Amino acid sequence: MGGIFDDLKNAFRKQNNQVVQMILIFSIVFVLHWLLTFSFKFLPDHKIYSDFLNKNFFLSTSIVDFLRHPWTILIFPFTNSNIIELIFNSLALFWFGHILTDFLGGRKVLLVFVSGAIAGAVLYTISAYGLQIIRPFKPAPYLFGASAGIYAVLFAAVGLLPLYEMMFFRFFIKLKHIAIAFLIISLLVDYRTGILHLGAASFGYFYVKFLRTGLNFTQPLESLILKMEGMGKQKPDKKISRTYSKSPVGEYQRSQIYDDQNYYPDQEEIDYLLDKINKSGGYESLTITEKDRLFRASQKKD
């Protein structure tokens, strides 16, 4: 048992490891809820206790119940309805989350995941009450947020790397086509769940688009996390000289002088590297130096 707890501690202490940490939280929340639900079955009036448990774990679609249990807004993004959903959501987050981590860092993946799930819940609630005016609509009593958060991460990756490709059964398929296909299937299978996923996906996509312009929707929450982690350390001064020249095709050439090993690219250079990836056919189009700079940028986020 000691070895397991040591592994868990190391996973949560490791920097830029938020994707693995979220998967572990998925499992912990699921097992804890299952154990409590199983234990309550041996108590008189066990349905009352089970309902109490659900109201404190999952996000209620009743505004009144939510106001009584506001903490569920931060718990429900890590909830799964069954073991199959837990497995598939964990795999999806591992695949798509690491794509985004390489470019934005683990902390932003966590923020996109949680904020996207919340955005999906907001759209779902608004739609539930709005659709009742047009046609009978019975919303689900509780929302499970893990799949919504994954859609936010997936579409954030699409917004950042629209030409990124993944291999499926020996075929290369663009990430954006995979994302759109999953979203359409979700809407067709159950349009109510699809609305939840649509809200999360929209947040993830536009979050990255606005981030490229310098607008960070999650900046207040990110700043709070940084303070809580005690990471507000001063960085040593560095001297950087840059020269820019624009070519006829609109590309930028730049030279930089490193005075120490603590150099980190700024947002302008990150945008340049990401544009090069999108326009030149992928990550392998970068030089060794540019790959190193992009890696440094991802480390800076944490």
CA 117 to chain centroid, in Å, comes to 9
Consecutive H or E run containing 72: helix 72-75
Average pLDDT of the chain?
80
pLDDT tens digits, 42-74: 888 888 888 889 889 999 888 888 899 999 999
Domains of the chain: 2-223 (1.20.1540.10), 235-300 (no CATH)
Q: Is 175 left (phi over 0), alpha (psi -120 to 50) or beta?
A: alpha
pLDDT tens track for 253-281:
333 434 345 566 777 777 777 777 666 65
CA-CA distance, 156 to 218, in Å (whole number)?
A: 13
Is pTM beyond 0.85? Reply is: no
Q: Which CA distances in Å does 19 have to 101, 123, 296?
A: 8, 25, 18
What whole-number distance in Å separates Cα of residue 294 and Cα of residue 101? 11
CA distance 207 to 155: 9
Cα separation of 156 and 100, whole Å? 8
* Structure token pair of residue 214: 């310098």
DSSP state of 120: H
Residue 140 near residue 127, CB atoms below 8 Å: no
Of 290 and 233, the structure prediction assigns the larger pLDDT to 290
